[in-house]
Structure 1
Amino acid sequence: MSAPPLSNQRAIVDRRKLAQRIGETIGEADGDGRSARDAVLALLRKALENGRTELSRRLAEHPSAGHAQCGGQSFLIDQLLRLIHDFASDHLAPVPEGKRARAITLVAAGGYGREELAPHSDIDIAFFVEQADDPRTVKLIEAILYLMWDLGLTVGHSVRTVDDIVSMSKSDGTILTSLLECRYLWGDEALYEEARRRFYAEVVDGTERQFVADKLRERDARHKRMGDTRYVVEPNVKEGKGGLRDLQALYWIGKYIHRVRDAAELVDAGLFTKAEYRSFRRAEGFLLAVRCHLHEITGRAEDRLTFDLQKEIARRMHFADRQGKAAVERFMQYYFLQAKRVGSLTGVFLGQLEEQFAKKRARRGLLAGFNARPRMVRGYTAFAGKLAAPGDDWFRKDPIRLIEIFQVAESEQLEIDPRTMRQADRDSGLINDEVRESPRANALFLDLLCGRNDPETVLRWMNEAGVFGRFVPDFGRVNAQMQFNMYHHYTVDEHTIRAIGFLNAIEKGSLSEEHPRASREIHRLKSRRALFVATLLHDIAKGRGGDHSVLGAEVAEKLCPRFGLTEDETALVAWMVRQHLLMSHTAFKRDIADPKTVEDFVAEVQTLERLRQLAILTAVDIRAVGPGTWNSWKGQLLGELYDLSHERLRLGHATSGRKGRVAAKKEAVRAELGDKAALMDTHENLFTAPYWIAEPPDIAARNIVQYTVARELGEALSVHCEADEERGATLVTVIAADHPGIFMRIAGAIHLVGGNIIDARIHTTRTGYAVDNFLVQDPLGRPFGEDDQLARIERSIADGLTGGVQLVPKLAKRPLPRRGAGAFEVRPSVAFDNDASHRFTVIEVGARDRPALLNRLARALFEQHAMIRSAHITHYGERAADTFYVTDLTGDKITDPGRLEALRTALSDAASDEMQAELEPA
């Protein structure tokens, strides 16, 4: 794919003038090229430096000119290699007297062959040779390579005869593709043309379909390796789905089948229209520009568009902040729109290619002249599993068909023919207010959204064709919109469509093991339509500024009647969108064992129907955030909250008083102890009522056994770690003489060995012992399970409590838990709630997630004489949200305004980046 003509090429490098200076330099050395080598190399190095400086200046001046930048980089290397070839050929490896010069051709390969060099790309070259073992040929190649290496170029090279080219291409797909991209650079042009002729005649002819199949298989494997979606928030510009490699694959296929030498010839080959080719070049140019900026900023061949680099490239490419949307988010939205366009072009390209292959098959073979008849489905043609519009003006005659075709595809489980996708994309602009307000169009859309086969895939097609955003403009506003944080893995539209897919899977029962309640309760809903619409709309107002839940509810109140929902369904959807974070925030950031937590939650939910709807929406919302976001611990917390709330709503009141709940829990613990049940007779009065209410029976049983053994052995400190697969974490129980500051030291010791605390409950026995239960995960969100891992945790806690180890300096040396967190600005926040619990003051601290955070917050509370009773730790990517249930030293809530303000100051200081900087060693 040749670059466009360069303006003022000689400002990059003037080969004629440089050749003259090289000649003068050799002349000054009395014509001895060998002795002039270092001086010549210095001239070449200076020319390379000056050329790169000029190209860097041009990139800053025209930051989106990807083709011009890559073309300039390729031109610079082209000119230098031609000079290197001539210098080496004439002076470093001249033809021996009386000998014939064997033909040798210098060929650009790979990205260099396509003229797509970024500033730090490898230089891939091939030497086509007449005779590989000819001494002069070997000497010349070595001379050229050593000069390139001495210039600091990263070189990939190969040496092949024409026979090698033919034989190796037949057996190695990588070599086949690299030869397909070769571009004549310098040397014997006749040898190059002979190699090209034989390559196509002896390797390519007759293998076109196999090559296409191989390239598509490679592409699918690469996509799977890179996350199998073009909407990952840290994309790989080169290898990721919708990236440069996908465009290159189209070029390879076109070149292999139609012998095109330039991407523009894909139009003549009938694979693109002129408009599609312009779109191809626009997407390619933008991606190339982004890649060039990545190389410039990092000073290396970097293709990953990481969070920290996104902000800098957005600035370089002149994206500005807009209301509700930061410059980096606008830049990434444009990036994803280009990646989406690459996907659409790929579908169009492959559809045209399949049609061309089909026509060739029809003209030959045993079935020549036989035409299978397509069947008709609601006016559409269906053939070979694909649904197609019967004519080019099909959508123009009735634009509602732009919605209908996707609904038919979902209900009939058919793919949409790529040519029809091209028509839909072309005609999507026909969707106007009249179509949007049409009851028929909205009924079709609602049927698709709530489809029972595969609405996720078909909605994604609808989105790719531009129809989704046209029909639901509010969805169009979040199309390709990135969420600039480390929590969300996908763009808003992709997250939403994935959530609908999970909803469909739960309804089918295919996720019943992970979501048993949701899989059961989804069939008891009064309105499944409300659930699917709420899932569609829950993030619809992101990027507008303000609370997206509140703004989204307003959108729901407008859209639901248009979709055909009843007044009651509209009210339900609006409530769910407004409260779609309520259940997760309650389960993860509040103490479910505190009766007030459930009281407040039930007071907001009010009905069993709302509870069922919200629980299922919460589950699919979390799952659709990204891989690993949902885990068994979150499932258990949400399940406990659901069960407690369900019972309360079903009976209309609390099932029993405090004494009854304690008695029931003790009986459950007695059953859990089994043959050790007699321990309850000794220890049932060891703990106060809050302990029995807070701890699950299995953990309480383990605590009692551990306490008994510790007392029998006379241990002042007992630490026990055990992987708890059901909770997806490791249970760490510490029993020790209670004293102020014990929580912060345990927390620091756990963090020191790489553990993340996700939940903590702090208890004191009537005998003065602390019994603290922590749920801990490794940095990847999994339980620690290996014996040596558990031993390290136990040893670290013992050292932290008894060995006088200085935790703070050690903690400060630990790296950030996740790469890239420093790219985000997270201002510390401290909020108090004295209404969330009858007995405790609830404090919620938001801050950047980093080493020793929990330890520092616990220290601040300790220094302010606040007693921690339970802690609930939640991570949202780079953000941590730590909730503490505390009392003063007398066991009462903290209500004095002066004390609360002092706590706010202390916690804000502890959570600040400045505090982290002070702690880090010089």
Structure 2
Amino acid sequence: MTDLFASLPNRRSIINRRIIADRIEALAAESSGDVGHLRQKIVAVLAEALKEGRAEAKRRLEYRPTNGREAVQALAFLTDQIVRILFDATTHYLYSPGNRTAGEQLALLAVGGYGRGEMAPHSDVDIAFVTPYKPTSWTEQVIESMLYSLWDLGLKVGHSSRSIDEMIRMSNADLTVRTAMLEARYVWGDRAVYDEALARFDAEVVRDSARAFVAEKLAEREERHKRMGDSRYVVEPNVKEGKGGLRDLHTLFWIGKYVNRVRSVSGLVEAGLLTPHELRQFQKAENFLWAVRCHLHYLTGRAEDRLTFDMQLEVAQHMSFTARSGRAGVERFMHYYFLTAKKVGDLTAVFLAHLDDQWASKGRRFVPSIFRRPRKLEGYVLERGRLALPSDDFFQKDPVRLLEIFAVADQHELEIHPSALIAASRDAQLIDNAIRRDPRANAFFLDVLTSPRDPERVLRWMNDAGVFGRFVPDFGRVVAQMQFDMYHHYTVDEHTIRAIGLLSRIERGELIEDHPLAAELMSKLISRRALYVAVLMHDIAKGRGGDHSILGAEVAEKLCPRLGLSAAETETVSWLVRHHLLMSATAFKRDLSDYKTIMDFAEVVQSAERLRLLLVLTVVDIRAVGPGVWNSWKRQLLSDLYIAAEEVLRLGHKSTGRKERIAAKKQALREALDVPAAEFDRYARRLPDSYLIAESVEILAQNARQILAAGKEPLSIVAEVYPERGATLVTVYASDHPGLFYRIAGAIHLAGGSIIDARIHTLRDGRAIDNFLVQDPLGRPFDHPDQLARIRRAIADALANKQKLQPKLEAKPLPRTRAEAFQIVPNVLIDNMASNRFTVIEIHARDKPALLFNLAYALFQSKVTVHSAHISTYGERAVDTFYITDLLGGKIESKSRLQTLEKRLLAASEARVIEELAAVE
């Protein structure tokens, strides 16, 4: 046995190979010669040993829940012994070779993670069967028998069977094979075969190919990071494959092993690729990440490596992270996880810097040189095109340089040498209150933050070095702080830095197609600097136990003067932080056709400059939440609100009267329709004023064509893609009757649609024209003909009573079980001041199937009329807003009726599916 498991304590409590071998020997002695029967008995003995060994490994992890290293070593050691016993039993008792020839030699090699001596509870067992030449019939029998036995043991086996020549050829041709063989470890069999294979691998594969291997592994790493979200601060990280995860540490080991032929991680120190301190950091990070991965495997009962929200709660509990200082155990656990992921990133930079230095000293630079000769720049040294320090104590002599180096790097668009970043990380503690108040330091910081070049890149360097959080302690409080919900994809600091990057890209014109209005407004801003600072501070007070907008505004009032902003700029930043959610809340939760909505919004904003700033801030805040959150529907709503509010705020503007607005809509509609004047006049008389005010001319024209084409037909359903809104417009023209809205809502859900906006209108002749904007669960329009047909058919069946909605909705599976990890207390807000004509009801609840159906049915039961509905989702949280009146068209004023309505909506928000009244069905 090698010394790989020398540090593993009390190995015989995991498995005692001698005792098990003796039991198998006794079984063989009693055997009647039936090979198949004997193999089954051997497998039964090994299965019992495997079960007991796994239980012991699990007990060790439960006893020391953060010591993942011991658990994965215990499982690898257990697998070694099982494989050795099985090989001996197979070759001695099942297929004894007699006098073996040179070609009947066989070596068993552990490869991949198993080769490193590390196995998670549900990892594959990767074995290479290696022969000196082509396999003989005996070696084929042994390999086949062993594989069947391993499969019978319930092991997931990744195997290969090759001669040494084939192994060399495959390693040269395939990077994956080469990486697996790089970690090949002798387990059992003919040692001479392994020694020959290893020697030839070194001589024929590794030699003179280090540069190519390193480049391929780093490219592979970059591709993997992009696939996993390209950030180590994704709030549902992949522990194995994600940025800052185990695979990043393995990549460092592979590179070190390939370049310097080290046999263990500790060998990286002797090779000069890590210092002893960095080695301890490597081992600490690896130990923690292995513990997390093992707990994930045990809790899910499978090879699960994604730390989803529901698993975060359970893993945090099993790893003994408890609530402390007002922070939940899961938040403390994830904070530690992200700090560990950051440390893995730091180690990667250090490792590659050491590797680059090694190769540079041999005249083979890993990072291409930009400047042939070192030059000095602002006192810094340019080392192969990267900003480096002239001496190790450079920061200590003047700690303001800890900010200056980032400003210089930004100004000259240079990268910072990893050794300089390491020194900055080490010396960041020198930043005290005196440095924070230093005008030079604040000027350097503000130059980076408001840079016209690429502030995101430099701010990320500053954050990774710990300088950012040290210089702005309020920002330091949100570094690696996760937002425990399904809406936010990143930690608070990562979200903020991404938002600043998006702002810079919009200003540079890179995102003009996605954000045409924001790009246009950036060139008109008077308060550009204030906007960048506001983006920095908009979430800076998260996690403090209060309204982060109010608390953040207070932080801005104190911090902005220190950064060098004027009193006017400080007031602007504070206002933006205080109201950074106002525009999205108004656009997504309120009826923008209700003039009081616009007036109330404009009253808070008060100036055209603030409106421009708020629009841009809102755009970057939403888009920086994560991929897929921003869409054309949100862009359209924000644009509509901006244009409407700008009209109100424009100097000298006088509001157009309601009659004039209606007349203008009718005239525009007349021009859009190609119908005789008399026919149009008859049609126009059927339209209520509220309908003309609420809908755009484009929708009015589409509705009109549908209504005129339908004639006296009792039902007309049109579903067509509405590209401007990134959704499908579903319009139902039918006889108005109680329950129409909830039936349509249920039918759309059954058809797989998600309603994002609904406007319900009753014409003067008693017919209803209802407009729904519908997307699929991924936020895309229904655009396939089959989808459109399905949604039309589902609505028609529901309105014709051809299907019982309640049983079908009950049977529909839950699409997102992860939402169950969050405790969301439903809340109903009733506002009679938000609109002049309607009672506005806002419901906050856990997003789930049939929620809108439940709420619509509760409103139907309450005998109210729904005029419009606005549906917003924020991960696991849904916010649905309804504009309602009583059946006579008035606001709901009765206190008792409002209380009953609130109680019914609360019950509806918590129910799976509300039972429909038999009388209605």
For normalisation by structure 1, the TM-score amounts to: 0.96
| Identical columns (%) | 57
Corresponding residue to 2:7 among 5, 8, 21? 5
In structure 2, the partner of 1:754 is 752
In structure 2, the partner of 1:632 is 632
Q: Between 355-364 and 182-191, report the one with greater CA deviation.
A: 355-364
Q: What is the CA-CA distance between 1:854 and the residue it aligns to?
A: 0.8
What does the per-residue CA deviation read over 1:612-650, in whole Å, with 9 as the maximum and x for residues that have no partner? 111110000000011111111111111111111111111
In structure 1, the partner of 2:16 is 14
Answer yes or no: is 1:903 the counterpart of 2:905: no
Residue identity opposite 1:434 in structure 2: A
What secondary structure is seen at the aligned counterpart in 1 of 2:126? Answer: strand
Q: What is the CA-CA distance between 1:473 and the residue it aligns to?
A: 1.6
Q: What is the CA-CA distance between 1:654 and the residue it aligns to?
A: 4.4
What secondary structure is seen at the aligned counterpart in 2 of 1:726? Answer: helix
CA contact (8 A) 2:806 2:916 kept: no
Separation (CA, whole Å) in 2 of partners of 1:687 and 1:427: 72
In structure 2, the partner of 1:84 is 86
Separation (CA, whole Å) in 1 of partners of 2:650 and 2:679: 36
Q: What is the CA-CA distance between 1:372 and the residue it aligns to?
A: 2.8
Residue identity opposite 1:562 in structure 2: R
Separation (CA, whole Å) in 2 of partners of 1:702 and 1:474: 52
Shift of the 146–355 alpha-carbon distance from structure 1 to 2, 3 Å rule, reads same
Task: Give the unaligned 5+ runs of structure 2.
Answer: none
Separation (CA, whole Å) in 2 of partners of 1:150 and 1:791: 49
Shift of the 310–831 alpha-carbon distance from structure 1 to 2, 3 Å rule, reads same
In structure 1, the partner of 2:604 is 604
CA contact (8 A) 2:28 2:93 kept: no
Separation (CA, whole Å) in 1 of partners of 2:795 and 2:101: 80
Residue identity opposite 2:854 in structure 1: R
In structure 2, the partner of 1:24 is 26
Answer yes or no: is 1:823 the counterpart of 2:821: yes
Q: What is the CA-CA distance between 1:271 and the residue it aligns to?
A: 1.1
CA contact (8 A) 1:32 1:91 kept: no
Separation (CA, whole Å) in 1 of partners of 2:103 and 2:770: 84
Separation (CA, whole Å) in 2 of partners of 1:779 and 1:704: 30
Corresponding residue to 1:832 among 830, 833, 836? 830
In structure 2, the partner of 1:577 is 577
Q: What is the CA-CA distance between 1:406 and the residue it aligns to?
A: 1.1
Residue identity opposite 2:749 in structure 1: H
Corresponding residue to 1:70 among 47, 50, 72? 72
Shift of the 789–677 alpha-carbon distance from structure 1 to 2, 3 Å rule, reads farther
In structure 1, the partner of 2:292 is 290
In structure 2, the partner of 1:281 is 283
What secondary structure is seen at the aligned counterpart in 1 of 2:871? Answer: strand
What does the per-residue CA deviation read over 1:171-225, in whole Å, with 9 as the maximum and x for residues that have no partner? 1211111110111111222321221112111211111100101111111111122
Pairing 1:765-804 to 2, within 5 Å after superposition: 765-804=763-802
What does the per-residue CA deviation read over 1:420-439, in whole Å, with 9 as the maximum and x for residues that have no partner? 22222222222222222211
What does the per-residue CA deviation read over 1:759-794, in whole Å, with 9 as the maximum and x for residues that have no partner? 111111111111111111111111112222212111
What secondary structure is seen at the aligned counterpart in 1 of 2:779? Answer: coil
Separation (CA, whole Å) in 2 of partners of 1:805 and 1:654: 52
In structure 1, the partner of 2:538 is 538
Q: What is the CA-CA distance between 1:493 and the residue it aligns to?
A: 1.0
Pairing 1:399-548 to 2, within 5 Å after superposition: 399-548=399-548
In structure 1, the partner of 2:131 is 129
What does the per-residue CA deviation read over 1:410-461, in whole Å, with 9 as the maximum and x for residues that have no partner? 1211111122222222222222222222111111101100111100111111
Q: What is the CA-CA distance between 1:588 and the residue it aligns to?
A: 0.4
What secondary structure is seen at the aligned counterpart in 2 of 1:651? Answer: coil
Q: What is the CA-CA distance between 1:727 and the residue it aligns to?
A: 0.8
In structure 1, the partner of 2:864 is 866
Separation (CA, whole Å) in 2 of partners of 1:655 and 1:837: 17
Q: Between 750-759 and 168-177, report the one with greater CA deviation.
A: 168-177
CA contact (8 A) 1:104 1:137 kept: yes
Task: Give the unaligned 5+ runs of structure 1.
Answer: none
What secondary structure is seen at the aligned counterpart in 1 of 2:109? Answer: strand
CA contact (8 A) 2:850 2:913 kept: no
What secondary structure is seen at the aligned counterpart in 2 of 1:820? Answer: helix
Separation (CA, whole Å) in 2 of partners of 1:7 and 1:478: 40
Q: What is the CA-CA distance between 1:33 and the residue it aligns to?
A: 7.6
Q: What is the CA-CA distance between 1:610 and the residue it aligns to?
A: 1.3
Shift of the 865–738 alpha-carbon distance from structure 1 to 2, 3 Å rule, reads same
Separation (CA, whole Å) in 1 of partners of 2:521 and 2:365: 56
What secondary structure is seen at the aligned counterpart in 1 of 2:127? Answer: strand
In structure 2, the partner of 1:169 is 171
Corresponding residue to 1:730 among 728, 731, 735? 728
Shift of the 462–217 alpha-carbon distance from structure 1 to 2, 3 Å rule, reads same
Separation (CA, whole Å) in 2 of partners of 1:374 and 1:414: 14
Residue identity opposite 1:174 in structure 2: T
CA RMSD of aligned residues (A): 2.2
Separation (CA, whole Å) in 1 of partners of 2:124 and 2:417: 39
Answer yes or no: is 1:912 the counterpart of 2:914: no
Separation (CA, whole Å) in 1 of partners of 2:794 and 2:677: 32
Answer yes or no: is 1:205 the counterpart of 2:207: yes
Q: What is the CA-CA distance between 1:917 and the residue it aligns to?
A: 11
Shift of the 690–916 alpha-carbon distance from structure 1 to 2, 3 Å rule, reads closer
CA contact (8 A) 1:525 1:613 kept: yes
CA contact (8 A) 1:116 1:288 kept: no
What secondary structure is seen at the aligned counterpart in 2 of 1:186? Answer: strand
CA contact (8 A) 2:740 2:799 kept: yes
In structure 1, the partner of 2:151 is 149
CA contact (8 A) 1:323 1:545 kept: no
Separation (CA, whole Å) in 1 of partners of 2:916 and 2:708: 43
Q: Between 683-692 and 759-768, report the one with greater CA deviation.
A: 683-692
Answer yes or no: is 1:356 the counterpart of 2:368: no
Shift of the 116–253 alpha-carbon distance from structure 1 to 2, 3 Å rule, reads same
What secondary structure is seen at the aligned counterpart in 1 of 2:849? Answer: coil
CA contact (8 A) 1:26 1:33 kept: no
What secondary structure is seen at the aligned counterpart in 1 of 2:523? Answer: helix
Q: What is the CA-CA distance between 1:346 and the residue it aligns to?
A: 1.0
Q: Between 815-824 and 214-223, report the one with greater CA deviation.
A: 815-824
Residue identity opposite 2:192 in structure 1: A
CA contact (8 A) 1:723 1:783 kept: yes
Separation (CA, whole Å) in 2 of partners of 1:430 and 1:916: 62
Residue identity opposite 2:331 in structure 1: E
Separation (CA, whole Å) in 1 of partners of 2:679 and 2:332: 63
In structure 2, the partner of 1:267 is 269
Separation (CA, whole Å) in 2 of partners of 1:555 and 1:650: 31
What secondary structure is seen at the aligned counterpart in 1 of 2:857? Answer: helix
Separation (CA, whole Å) in 1 of partners of 2:512 and 2:364: 48
CA contact (8 A) 2:854 2:913 kept: no
Answer yes or no: is 1:379 the counterpart of 2:379: yes
What secondary structure is seen at the aligned counterpart in 1 of 2:725? Answer: coil
In structure 1, the partner of 2:310 is 308
Corresponding residue to 2:737 among 736, 739, 746? 739
Residue identity opposite 2:244 in structure 1: G
CA contact (8 A) 1:479 1:493 kept: yes
Q: Between 431-440 and 871-880, report the one with greater CA deviation.
A: 431-440
CA contact (8 A) 1:325 1:545 kept: no
CA contact (8 A) 1:132 1:159 kept: no
Residue identity opposite 2:247 in structure 1: R
CA contact (8 A) 1:93 1:143 kept: no
Aligned length: 914
What secondary structure is seen at the aligned counterpart in 1 of 2:687? Answer: coil
Residue identity opposite 1:328 in structure 2: V
Answer yes or no: is 1:184 the counterpart of 2:186: yes
Residue identity opposite 2:239 in structure 1: V
Residue identity opposite 1:124 in structure 2: D
Shift of the 25–547 alpha-carbon distance from structure 1 to 2, 3 Å rule, reads same
Answer yes or no: is 1:684 the counterpart of 2:687: no
Separation (CA, whole Å) in 2 of partners of 1:353 and 1:104: 37
CA contact (8 A) 2:380 2:387 kept: yes
